[in-house]
């Protein structure tokens, strides 16, 4: 893409309203636009990041046999009354139309997915034979947070992947649950924050006494966790007590306290939602049982914000290659005719090789401003074509997280970048 055609612009200064790093950098870079507290629009650069995260998650969900759907955001009031949550869920958005009919804007989809499934499942024979039945979607959720905060880390409208699994036995559920733990780890590794993300024991679990959260260490985090570095065990502050320490063979003095943000959770629902809707199956003895359920969430927009919180420096964002909007930021410096021509050739050639490149072909922009923009926008590779580089018959390449670049020939450039681009 040619940057001269990109409608968004970068900003030098951050809004004084935005304190969080993710909001500051994402707004300055033109990735997102704030509409309301906790409500953001995604602009071209930001949407590319979100789509990449989405595709990584989709790939991993499909690996465990997840079947993707898209459920409605507008949800019947009756369904929510059946589970009792029309009254008890305080952050439920309720909207009404001209006739006075009320509907909920979906904060989660148990109330929708279970009635859907009831139409198709009634026997153990309706479940997949060699895998579990799991349904997921990637969609905007609405939650009336009393206090939206920290940029896109806690919003009122946000992108989320929610998966629901359905089982005919506790064994099947537990097997699937363990698989999801692994898959979640893979996802956080792939988006570049695996080294800071811990599977954390928290309260609220029913089948194993604990629930599991995936917590990423960041000072902006809302949770406090304790990590035993030696074993990699992490505990949410809410479950830290003597009994737990003994159970996990941990020594309190060796635990390190960190602020963290919950980037994902996996949950045992048992029959909490299958019972109100009578979602059940008949076994081979003609016995009827309620279906067991699990649910598994990842906030995509929160994940994107977390990456920015964790991977940035004082100049801007440092995107991991896996989710960067473009792999290469190509800068043409100066108004020299030869430079423009060569830069154009490099651009076309990278495009031909299916390398995602943002080409800063803007005229009348000083070199300093282009460099500053490249740092702020944070593509993994910066490639510069200038009179200086042409003198040495090449282009300058610099990784975003490196101090200095080096001049390499165009052939070397393709050799260095193309294989990686293809593997992504």
Partner RNA sequence: CGGGCUGUAGUAUAUCGGUUGUACAAGUGCUUUGGGAGCAUUUAGGCUGGGUUCGACUCCCAGCAGCCCGACCA
| Residues within the interface to RNA (CB under 7 A) | 9-20, 28, 34, 36-38, 90-91, 107-110, 145-150, 154, 162, 204, 211, 222-223, 265, 267, 295, 297, 315, 333-335, 363-369, 371-376, 384, 386-389, 396, 398, 405
Residue with Cβ nearer RNA (16 or 287): 16
Give the nearest distance from C-beta 251 to RNA in angstroms: 27
Sign of CA dihedral 51, 54, 60, 62: negative
Give the nearest distance from C-beta 49 to RNA in angstroms: 19
Residue with Cβ nearer RNA (356 or 369): 369
Look at residues 167, 102, 162 and name the one whose alpha carbon lies nearest to residue 131. Answer: 167
Give the nearest distance from C-beta 161 to RNA in angstroms: 11
Give the nearest distance from C-beta 256 to RNA in angstroms: 20
Q: Report the C-alpha gap between 38 and 339 in whole angstroms.
A: 44
**Residue 149: count of CB within 10 angstroms of its CB:** 15
Listing DSSP states for 167-183 in one string gives: ESSHHHHHHHHHHHHHH
Residue with Cβ nearer RNA (52 or 370): 370
Give the nearest distance from C-beta 239 to RNA in angstroms: 13
Give the nearest distance from C-beta 264 to RNA in angstroms: 10
Give the nearest distance from C-beta 71 to RNA in angstroms: 11
Residue with Cβ nearer RNA (108 or 197): 108
Residue with Cβ nearer RNA (15 or 72): 15
**Could you give phi then psi for residue 42, rounded to 5 degrees?**
-105, 120
- Token code pair at residue 345: 């050739």
158 and 141 Cβ atoms separated by less than 8 Å: yes
Look at residues 265, 271, 229 and name the one whose alpha carbon lies nearest to residue 250. Answer: 229
Residue with Cβ nearer RNA (174 or 369): 369
Residue with Cβ nearer RNA (181 or 398): 398
Give the nearest distance from C-beta 178 to RNA in angstroms: 18
- Beta-strand pair 133-142/288-290: unpaired
DSSP for residue 26: H
- Burial of 12 from C-beta contacts in 10 A (0-12 / 13-18 / 19+): exposed
Give the nearest distance from C-beta 366 to RNA in angstroms: 4
Strand segments, DSSP code E, in 15-168 are 32-36, 39-42, 67-68, 74-76, 93-96, 102-105, 133-142, 157-167
Q: Residues with Cβ < 8 Å from 342, sequence gap 6 or more?
A: 385, 390
Residue with Cβ nearer RNA (144 or 414): 144
Residue with Cβ nearer RNA (204 or 290): 204
CA-based diameter of the chain, in Å? 82
Q: Which residue has the tokens 């904060």?
A: 107
Q: Which helix (H) or strand (E) holds 247?
A: helix 242-247
**Could you give phi then psi for residue 364, rounded to 5 degrees?**
75, 15
Angle at 310 between CA 309 and CA 313, to 5 degrees: 85
Give the nearest distance from C-beta 155 to RNA in angstroms: 9
Residue with Cβ nearer RNA (150 or 274): 150
Give the nearest distance from C-beta 386 to RNA in angstroms: 3
- Beta-strand pair 67-68/133-142: parallel
- Beta-strand pair 133-142/211-217: unpaired
**Residue 94: count of CB within 10 angstroms of its CB:** 13
Residue with Cβ nearer RNA (56 or 104): 104
DSSP SS3 for 288: strand
DSSP for residue 303: H
């Amino acid at each position: 893409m040619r940057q001269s055609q990109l409608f968004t612009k970068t900003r030098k200064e951050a809004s004084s309203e935005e304190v969080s790093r993710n909001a500051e950098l994402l707004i300055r870079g033109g990735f997102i636009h704030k509409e309301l507290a906790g409500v953001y629009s995604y602009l071209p650069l930001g949407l590319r990041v979100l789509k990449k995260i989405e595709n990584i998650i989709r790939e991993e969900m499909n690996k465990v046999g997840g079947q993707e759907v898209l459920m409605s955001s507008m949800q019947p009031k009756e369904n929510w009354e059946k589970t009792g949550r029309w009254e008890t869920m305080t952050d439920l958005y309720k909207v009404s139309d001209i006739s006075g009919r009320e509907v909920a804007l979906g904060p989660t989809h148990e109330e929708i997915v279970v009635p859907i499934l009831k139409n198709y499942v009634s026997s153990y024979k309706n479940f997949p034979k060699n895998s579990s039945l799991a349904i997921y979607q990637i969609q905007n959720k609405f939650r009336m947070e009393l206090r939206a905060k920290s940029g896109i880390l806690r919003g009122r409208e946000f992108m989320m992947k929610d998966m629901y699994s359905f089982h005919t036995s506790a064994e099947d559920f537990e097997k699937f649950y363990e698989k999801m733990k692994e898959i979640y780890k893979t996802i956080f590794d792939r988006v570049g924050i695996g080294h800071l993300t811990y599977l954390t024991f928290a309260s609220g679990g029913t089948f194993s006494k604990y629930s599991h959260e995936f917590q990423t260490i960041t000072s902006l985090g809302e949770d406090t966790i304790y990590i035993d570095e030696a074993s990699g065990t992490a505990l949410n502050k809410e479950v830290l007590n003597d009994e737990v320490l003994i159970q996990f063979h941990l020594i309190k003095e060796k635990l390190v306290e960190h602020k963290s943000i919950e980037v994902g959770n996996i949950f045992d629902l048992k029959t909490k939602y299958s019972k109100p809707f009578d979602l059940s199956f008949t076994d081979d003895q003609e016995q009827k049982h309620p279906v067991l359920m699990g649910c598994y969430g990842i906030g995509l927009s929160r994940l994107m914000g977390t990456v920015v919180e964790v991977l940035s420096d004082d100049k801007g964002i440092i995107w991991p290659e896996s989710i960067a909007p473009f792999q290469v930021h190509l800068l043409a410096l100066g108004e020299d005719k030869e430079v423009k021509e060569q830069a154009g050739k490099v651009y076309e050639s990278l495009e031909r090789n299916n390398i995602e490149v943002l080409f800063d072909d803007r005229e009348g922009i000083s070199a300093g401003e282009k460099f500053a923009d490249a740092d702020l926008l944070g593509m993994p590779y910066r490639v510069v074509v200038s009179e200086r580089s042409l003198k040495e018959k090449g282009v300058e390449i610099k990784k975003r997280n490196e101090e200095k670049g080096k001049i390499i020939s165009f052939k070397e450039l393709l050799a260095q970048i193309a294989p990686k681009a293809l593997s992504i």
